[in-house]
Amino acid sequence: MPSAATTDMSIVSLILHASLPVQLIMLLLVVASIASWTVIFSKYSAIKQALRRTSQFENDFWSGGDLATLHQSISTRRAEHGALARIFDAGMTEFLKARRTQVAGDASHQLDGARRAMRASFQREMDGLESNLNFLASTGSVSPYIGLLGTVWGIMHAFLGLANVQQATLSAVAPGIAEALIATAIGLFAAIPAVVAYNRYTHDIDRLSIRFESFVDEFLNILQRQAR
């Protein structure tokens, strides 16, 4: 008898015997959790790669080599380089075009095009890095409430079932409450990793954004000296 009771109160048994609305809510939360973990792993790889390529480009840029040579190597293989390298490529390309078409010594016109090109490239790169972060934020904020909805529904179902029982006992109401609480547990399991990952990735992307903006300002100063 004890082993049978244990089997009946197992998590799998409680899920299988839960009411249909609660099962649907659990399924929704499991799907959200799987999607969230997929985004977490893919975004981790993307941000780690962006950090590595940014550091590599900064080392190449500040090593004192020829900017024209660096620009040529990036232009021929843009997809293989990181976000900061593509920002540099956009600014350098526009600067060289303006230098060929504008009157010599007109530094402001030569720099305006480079500034706009780098800002546009900066925004595209940031949009790519921030993609799917909203999904993590939504999963982290909504999943506990969806789980709570399943719990409330399950508890209501359990207490309504007591209406047909002559004597309400703990053994009669416990399975219904237990299966209802599983929905909240699954909701928290989906929400907690999403919130932690969202906060971590937001911090990393903010750091990258600061590095990109600092480089744009420093590179414009270099171009300003060359435009004179």
Residue 7 within a domain = no
pTM of the model: 0.81
- Confidence class of residue 3 from pLDDT cuts 50, 70 and 90? very low
- Structural domain containing residue 178: 28-63+127-228
Residue 102 within a domain = no
Average pLDDT score over residue span 113-132: 93
Average pLDDT score over residue span 198-208: 96
pLDDT at 2: 43
Residue 77 within a domain = no
pLDDT at 165: 63
Q: What angle do CA 30, 20, 157 make, to 5 degrees?
A: 115
pLDDT at 172: 62
Residue 111 within a domain = no
Residue 175 within a domain = yes
| Dihedral sign (CA 72, 78, 81, 82) | positive
pLDDT at 34: 95
- Confidence class of residue 56 from pLDDT cuts 50, 70 and 90? very high
pLDDT tens per residue across span 75-110:
888 777 889 999 999 999 988 888 777 655 566 777
- Confidence class of residue 171 from pLDDT cuts 50, 70 and 90? low
Residue 186 within a domain = yes
pLDDT at 7: 42
pLDDT at 65: 78
Give the span between the Cα atoms of 191 and 84, in whole angstroms: 32
CA neighbor of 29 nearest in space, from 177, 184, 152? 184
pLDDT at 73: 87
For the chain, the domain total comes to 1
Share of the chain above pLDDT 70, in %: 83
pLDDT at 6: 41
Residue 69 within a domain = no
State the average pLDDT for the chain. Answer: 84
Residue 98 within a domain = no
